[in-house]
Structure 1
Amino acid sequence: MATGVIGVLGFAALAETGAATGPATVVSPVVAAHAEAQRAQEAEDVVSRAERPEPAPPQVAAPQAADNGQKQSTNDAPPAQPPAAQQPPAAPKEEAPKAAPAQLTPVAGLSQVQTENAAAIIRAGAKNGVPQRGMVIAVATAMQESTLLNRASEVLPESKLYPHQGTGWDHDSVGLFQQRTSSGWGPVADLMKPEYAATKFYQGLLQVPGWDQMPLTYAAQAVQVSAFPEAYAPHEPVATAVVQQLLQQGVTNG
């Protein structure tokens, strides 16, 4: 029995040895099973590698900004622009020069100079609240006293230092109304100003009781105390026309 088993095993071993050296290839069932298992394992490894996800590439950390004590904004806002250079303050606008008043049109046969002087008398009356009748009396008085010219006095050399339109010789009488500084009418420098001289005349006229009811020549004489009291009367018609026409030109406006 033992011999028979050895014989069988010896035959099997011989068969395997022959398979390795002989021309015919006889695969042992044991070897075939081992090879099959190895191929199955290799196939399984291939499938396993195919299904396995590729590892993600390593993350590279962004370079950190230098720490200067301030955190960088997550909005990546652009850096603030430097303030624009301040413009120098604009130069103040210069006021346009006021237009010169329109030149008056001469009236009632008067010259330009006489018309301007008459207008000054009328303006002074308007400023002092004098009615038109008082303006007529004042213009007529100046027509008699100075022919409506702002006269200096040869007797009073000081008067010639101020703007004037001719001279006279009647003591120290000066200006449109020939008022005398020695009689208390005022300083020479002021009496040579047409509106001032007219204002002084109106102040005297308004103190005369009932002046607005008197004939023109009497009202004028009450102020002037002239040696020729009737001399003012002939000037009333022209003086009336002068006042009316200059008022129409708007001499009291502005």
Structure 2
Amino acid sequence: MPEPSPQPPKRRGRLFRFSSAVAVLLALAGYLVVQYVTGGTGAPGCKVVSGRGGGPQYEFSPEQAVNAATIAAVGTGRGMPERAVAIALATSLQESGLHNIEHGDRDSLGLFQQRPSMGWGTEKQIMDPAYAAGTFYEHLAKVPDYKRLPLTVAAQRVQRSGYPEAYAKHEPDASLLAAALTGQSAATLTCQGRPEVRTEAAATGPDAVRAALVRDFGRDAFQETGAEVRATTAASPSPSATAGAHGRTVTVPVPPAGKADAGRTAKERGWQLAHWAVANSSALHIARVSYAGREWTAGSTDSHWRPTGAPGTAGAERSAGSVRIVTGQ
């Protein structure tokens, strides 16, 4: 009986390439699964939906949520309108994907890929998200009639990019984020709230929440209105809290609307603070956020804002006067 002939070289080559491709795909799938399960920077983790219901939605990672919340807070702190915040968010989505990256074209850095050599600041300043956002708004405010310009045109007047039309494709997602993170749309931003995986110890608890509030909104934003951020130990969980979620509570009174608020109401300012807290939930180990009769709880399967009282009741109206942030530590 004749022995089987050896496998032709060409066929062996095809099998090797096929096996290599399968191995690469399996490795990539494993990486994405690990990122998703651990809450890494590639995990979706957060979602923003339209305030009208049944409209578009955008999913993004906890890292992107923190940066987006900072961009919005800095903008409203400067009295910039929702349109300006949408322009800034679309710009960062295009330039860095809302990641604070340490590299780019030539000496470009950070959320907006700003260049130290072009007078945007030092490398250290540009890598500070609050500074980077502030200097972007400073330049945007000098663009004549920027609120009426197409978004991509307004962004290009600031950035002077080699791809002037690139910002337009991010306008739908940026508009959703801006509506939520300026408080125009209530209870529209949620996150799963898984703690971030870090290689070094991260500050958490009420002190970390207060420091992050000052970092993004500015110390004067609270002091000028007489508002105070205070931390207290929760004696027991609220009626809608999950068992064992005692934690520590930071109560942030909602300041009344002022001249620097670009026409926003106090309730819109409250929803901005509430959404800011949810966006920072993974980084700061925030377990619950309550405002205006609604509550978000980390770890729930759908991350919806649940009602804590009937709309229009005295309890719901009283809860609109402050945002309660419960940390896990």
TM superposition score normalised by structure 1:
0.51
Secondary structure (helix, strand or coil) at the match of 1:109 reads strand
Q: 1:138 & 1:117 partners in 2: Cα distance?
A: 11
Are the equivalent residues in 1 in contact too, given 2:72–2:178 (CA < 8 A)?
yes
Q: 1:118 & 1:226 partners in 2: Cα distance?
A: 21
Secondary structure (helix, strand or coil) at the match of 1:152 reads coil
Q: 1:127 & 1:189 partners in 2: Cα distance?
A: 22
1:19-30 matched pairs, under 5 angstroms:
none
1:161-200 matched pairs, under 5 angstroms:
168=104, 170-200=105-135
Alignment match of 2:175 (pick from 240, 245, 251): 240
Q: Does 1:119 align with 2:119?
A: no
Q: CA deviation at 1:187?
A: 1.0
CA-to-aligned-CA distance 1:142-178 (integer Å, 9 cap, x gap): 000000000002xxxxxxxxxxxxxx3x111001000
Structure 1: gaps (5+ residues): 1-103, 154-167
Q: CA deviation at 1:196?
A: 0.7
Paired amino acid for 2:151 = L
The aligned counterpart of 2:144 is: 209
Q: 2:124 & 2:88 partners in 1: Cα distance?
A: 21
Alignment match of 1:231 (pick from 156, 166, 172): 166
1:73-92 matched pairs, under 5 angstroms:
none
Larger Rg belongs to: 1
Alignment match of 2:83 (pick from 126, 133, 145): 133
Secondary structure (helix, strand or coil) at the match of 1:229 reads coil
Q: Does 1:151 align with 2:75?
A: no
CA-to-aligned-CA distance 1:69-114 (integer Å, 9 cap, x gap): xxxxxxxxxxxxxxxxxxxxxxxxxxxxxxxxxxx95432111111
Are the equivalent residues in 2 in contact too, given 1:181–1:187 (CA < 8 A)?
yes
Moved more, 179-188 or 237-246: 237-246
Q: 1:142 & 1:209 partners in 2: Cα distance?
A: 21
Q: 1:208 & 1:117 partners in 2: Cα distance?
A: 24
Paired amino acid for 1:177 = F
Are the equivalent residues in 2 in contact too, given 1:217–1:231 (CA < 8 A)?
yes
Moved more, 188-197 or 243-252: 243-252
Q: CA deviation at 1:198?
A: 0.5
Q: 2:273 & 2:101 partners in 1: Cα distance?
A: 24
Secondary structure (helix, strand or coil) at the match of 2:98 reads coil
Are the equivalent residues in 2 in contact too, given 1:117–1:149 (CA < 8 A)?
yes
Q: 2:158 & 2:110 partners in 1: Cα distance?
A: 15
Are the equivalent residues in 2 in contact too, given 1:125–1:202 (CA < 8 A)?
yes
The aligned counterpart of 2:195 is: none
Are the equivalent residues in 1 in contact too, given 2:46–2:60 (CA < 8 A)?
no
Which 4+ runs in 1 deviate beyond 4 A? none
Are the equivalent residues in 2 in contact too, given 1:173–1:179 (CA < 8 A)?
yes
Q: 1:147 & 1:251 partners in 2: Cα distance?
A: 22
Q: 2:131 & 2:59 partners in 1: Cα distance?
A: 25
Paired amino acid for 1:182 = S
Q: CA deviation at 1:119?
A: 0.4
Q: 2:108 & 2:178 partners in 1: Cα distance?
A: 25
Q: 1:141 & 1:228 partners in 2: Cα distance?
A: 12
Q: 1:125 & 1:252 partners in 2: Cα distance?
A: 13
Are the equivalent residues in 2 in contact too, given 1:126–1:252 (CA < 8 A)?
no
Q: CA deviation at 1:251?
A: 3.5
Q: 1:106 & 1:239 partners in 2: Cα distance?
A: 12
Q: CA deviation at 1:210?
A: 0.9
> How many aligned positions are there?
136
Bigger helix share: 1
The aligned counterpart of 1:18 is: none
Paired amino acid for 2:115 = R
Secondary structure (helix, strand or coil) at the match of 1:179 reads coil
Are the equivalent residues in 2 in contact too, given 1:106–1:115 (CA < 8 A)?
no
Paired amino acid for 2:82 = Q
Q: CA deviation at 1:195?
A: 1.1
Q: 2:178 & 2:99 partners in 1: Cα distance?
A: 16
Q: 1:218 & 1:244 partners in 2: Cα distance?
A: 20
Q: 1:106 & 1:150 partners in 2: Cα distance?
A: 20
Are the equivalent residues in 1 in contact too, given 2:46–2:61 (CA < 8 A)?
no
